[in-house]
Chains A and B, each alone.
Chain A
Amino acid sequence: HTKLLQLLTTKPE
């Protein structure tokens, strides 16, 4: 789940 993890750990803009 690379993409999912990446989106979950991205700080909101």
Chain B
Amino acid sequence: PLPPALTPEHLISRIMEAEPPEIYLMKDMNRPLTEANVMMSLTNLADKELVHMISWAKKIPGFVEFGLLEQVHLLECCWLEVLMMGLMWRSVDHPGKLIFSPDLSLSREEGNCVQGFSEIFDMLIAATSRVRELKLQREEYVCLKAMILLNSNMCLISSEGSEEPQSRSKLLRLLDAVTDALVWAIAKSGLPYRQQYTRLAHLLMLLSHVRHVSNKGMDHLHCMKMKNIVPLYDLLLEMLDAHIMHSS
């Protein structure tokens, strides 16, 4: 789906331009920090972010060339991973805290008020430490996020007869182009050749942790919904239900 003239450098700049703006919660975090208040703020924020995520995906070169159902499926599979990757990126300079938005950050202890959160919090904080350790660069970060989107249903797509036959090869070609862009970004650092490809491996290995935490988070959110602890907003509810449906 990519125009052949799009070099790795151009592709990265297009993906950088697609980055969503900073999203503010825009109201004081409801105090005291009770389970209901924290969940209310986080789901409110997630719902706002999801709207921007759709615009982001549409600006990834090649994405809108996919069929509408394919676009839906990709986003439904990856949305929490993309939200979590953004959260880790925002939190990278704040050890021990998660910066959900410029006006909402929570320490590990504050997150504990939500039942079942501490495990997910710890995994997010640990993954963020790894990002810090790797000194992830902005260009690398945007490539990884695009890869999460394009790779999200790679292991589901072949089992579904309804997909158009060229869809998978289109997806693979686009994923290759983003991989070239990531390799280009790593090469810019001037690292010795061997360290460039070990860095590529380390960056891609981050994604398996992100997938893992996202699955944990999805189960948690589903649980909160079932227990009626928090009212879910329309888009967030739709995305959660779709995910639960795909995975069952």
Q: Which residues of A contact B (CB under 8 A)?
A: 1-5, 7-9, 12
11 contacts between A and B (CB under 8 A): A1-B72, A1-B76, A1-B238, A3-B234, A4-B54, A4-B76, A5-B72, A8-B54, A8-B68, A8-B75, A9-B68
Q: Which residues of B contact A (CB under 8 A)?
A: 51, 54-55, 58, 68, 71-72, 75-76, 234-235, 238-239, 242
**Main SS class of interface, A:** helix
Query: For A3, what are the chain B residues with a Cβ–Cβ distance below 8 Å?
Result: 234-235, 238
* Closest A-B pairs by Cβ, 3 of them: A7-B54, A3-B235, A3-B234
Per the bound structure, the CA–CA distance linking A6 and B72 in Å amounts to 11
Query: For B51, what are the chain A residues with a Cβ–Cβ distance below 8 Å?
Result: 7
Would you call A4 and B72 a contact (CB within 8 A)?
yes
Would you call B55 and A12 a contact (CB within 8 A)?
yes
Per the bound structure, the CA–CA distance linking A7 and B234 in Å amounts to 12
Would you call A1 and B68 a contact (CB within 8 A)?
no
Per the bound structure, the CA–CA distance linking A3 and B238 in Å amounts to 8
Per the bound structure, the CA–CA distance linking A2 and B68 in Å amounts to 12
Given contacts A4-B54, A7-B54, A9-B68, 5 further A-B contacts (CB under 8 A): A1-B72, A4-B72, A4-B75, A4-B242, A8-B71
Query: For B58, what are the chain A residues with a Cβ–Cβ distance below 8 Å?
Result: 8, 12
Which residue of chain B has its CB nearest to the CB of A11?
B58
Which residue of chain B has its CB nearest to the CB of A9?
B68
Which residue of chain A has its CB nearest to the CB of B237?
A3
Per the bound structure, the CA–CA distance linking A8 and B58 in Å amounts to 7
Would you call A1 and B242 a contact (CB within 8 A)?
yes
Query: For B235, what are the chain A residues with a Cβ–Cβ distance below 8 Å?
Result: 3-4, 7
Which residue of chain A has its CB nearest to the CB of B47?
A3
